[in-house]
Copies of this chain bind each other. A is one copy, B any other.
Amino acid sequence: MGLEHLVRATCVRCGSHYGTQGVYTCPGCGIEGILDLEYDYDAVARTLTREALRSRVGDLWRYLELLPVDSTRELPHPHVGMTPIYDVPRLAAAVGVRALKVKDDGRNPTASFKDRASAVGVLKAREQGSDVIACASAGNAAASLAGFSAAVGLKSVIFVPERTPEPKVAQVLIFGGTVLRVKGSYDDAYAVCQDACARFGWYNRNCAVNPYLIEGKKTVGLEMAEQLGEELPDWVVFSVGDGCTLAGAWKGLWEMHRLGFLSRLPRMLGVQAQGSAPLVDEYVRREGSIRPVEARTLADSIAVGQPRNWRKALRAISESRGAMLAVDDASILEAMRRTARLAAVFAEPAGACAVAGLTRAVEQGIVGRDESALVVITGNGLKDVRSATEASAQPIDLPADMAGLEQVLRARQLI
């Protein structure tokens, strides 16, 4: 359904308009010319109604009118999206806001937010007759792409930086994907992947430059709007690597406002890790360009030193009257503990980064103590067990005698 509603693609850099077939980046601006897809929202509104949604299956395909896919094709079977949103008053108190909700996107099929993009990506690859789909990834997109390729019978090739956590590599391999480990950072892996796609004609899933992928990501915003309606909090908080997740979420929220599902829009708070914060840097400098950095943070999913989608992300911050800030790795580990213990959600470092950022935004007065917020946890902590272990106490070897056991238990106020 979505394909018929697509109107045009617009370059986020120069504003030129294009048709929606076969163009991936603006011919005039090159790789900097990321495209944004526009739909005929009046046409969409005729069939995408509250009434219609009530009887649709609870996954991301419920928003087909707003997705750029050929819906006559078989959709990948893994159930993506409509992840739960919880009220978490104990975490709210710790963070310092009046009310807090978390949306646990680690509940997706391969345990991260990235499944929203991959579900669309493998369909686009199929539409274009590709047998092989490739991406560069710090880990989550890798596992996700491999899983969705397995679902539809595509071959996947994944370029990962050498320091990718073992669980994410294991996921790709078990799904039958080919993992090519690149010496260097995510940015190095990204460069090799771009070259390989151009040379071998593979379908390129890299979200940053592929305008279709962000359409999958925006479903998180569509969902929030449908799930919460007028209960949507004042602030929506995301961690930020490349920028396209926050930008996608904002697009989804904006569309639901345009369609009348929301009467007002929330403000967006984008949080980066201090060791990898070029968007925060540009948010402060406002020079209209990005200064690449060498990314250093344990939050590997957002360790992007040379972001590609920063224009879309900063536009979302600006349009929503939002803000950006950075937090250090120690705060991220502390947020992992708090999120697990006070909200019962085991977040990977990149997910917990958003919680840490909200805490800091309250301290700095950016977010008021009388305001409400929704934090999206973008990946399950099982994907990076080493960081979880670093954030935690150690297991205790059972003492040999009862006196020893009782001493341990008493110290922990368990008896």
Residues of chain A whose beta carbon lies under 8 Å from any beta carbon of chain B: 58, 76-79, 84, 86-88, 90, 104, 107, 109-111, 132, 147-148, 150-151, 153, 155, 157, 159-160, 166-167, 169-176, 178-183, 192, 196, 200, 202, 336-337, 340-346, 380-383, 385, 388-389, 391-398, 405, 408-409, 412-415
Residue of B nearest to A87 (CB): B77
Partner of A175, one of B76, B344, B382, B394: B344
Contact of A150 with B342 in the complex, beta carbons under 8 Å = yes
Contact of A109 with B344 in the complex, beta carbons under 8 Å = yes
Q: A58-B58, A173-B392, A174-B340 are in contact. List 6 more A-B contacts (CB 8 A).
A: A78-B86, A172-B395, A174-B337, A174-B388, A178-B412, A182-B398
Partner of A396, one of B84, B86, B181, B388: B181
A182 to B399, CA, bound (A): 9
Which residues on the B side are within 8 Å of A109 (C-beta)? 104, 107, 344-345
Which residues on the B side are within 8 Å of A341 (C-beta)? 150, 174-176
A415 to B159, CA, bound (A): 16
Q: How far is the CB of A410 from chain B (nearest CB, A)?
A: 10
A178 to B405, CA, bound (A): 12
A160 to B395, CA, bound (A): 10
Contact of B175 with A398 in the complex, beta carbons under 8 Å = no
Considering residues A84, A153, A170, A391, which has the most beta carbons from chain B within 10 angstroms of its beta carbon?
Answer: A170
Which residues on the B side are within 8 Å of A159 (C-beta)? 398
Which residues on the B side are within 8 Å of A147 (C-beta)? 340, 344, 346
The number of times this chain is found in the oligomer is 2
Contact of A395 with B86 in the complex, beta carbons under 8 Å = no
Known: A77-B344, A110-B346. Is A414-B174 also a contact (CB below 8 A)? no
A181 to B392, CA, bound (A): 16
Known: A86-B77, A200-B414. Is A340-B176 also a contact (CB below 8 A)? yes
Which residues on the B side are within 8 Å of A396 (C-beta)? 178-181
Which residues on the B side are within 8 Å of A79 (C-beta)? 84, 86, 104, 107
Contact of A88 with B84 in the complex, beta carbons under 8 Å = no
A111 to B106, CA, bound (A): 10
Which residues on the B side are within 8 Å of A414 (C-beta)? 132, 155, 157, 178, 200, 202
Contact of B111 with A394 in the complex, beta carbons under 8 Å = no
A111 to B179, CA, bound (A): 25
A183 to B415, CA, bound (A): 22
Nearest 5 pairs of A and B residues by beta carbon? A173-B392, A151-B344, A179-B395, A79-B84, A382-B382
Known: A175-B341, A341-B175. Is A398-B180 also a contact (CB below 8 A)? yes
Contact of B395 with A175 in the complex, beta carbons under 8 Å = no
Partner of A173, one of B107, B196, B389: B389
Partner of A200, one of B157, B181, B409: B409
Contact of B181 with A388 in the complex, beta carbons under 8 Å = no
A sample of 20 inter-chain contacts (CB < 8 A) reads: A77-B88, A78-B84, A78-B344, A79-B104, A110-B346, A111-B382, A150-B341, A170-B389, A173-B389, A174-B341, A174-B346, A175-B341, A175-B346, A176-B340, A178-B409, A180-B398, A181-B396, A181-B398, A200-B414, A382-B383
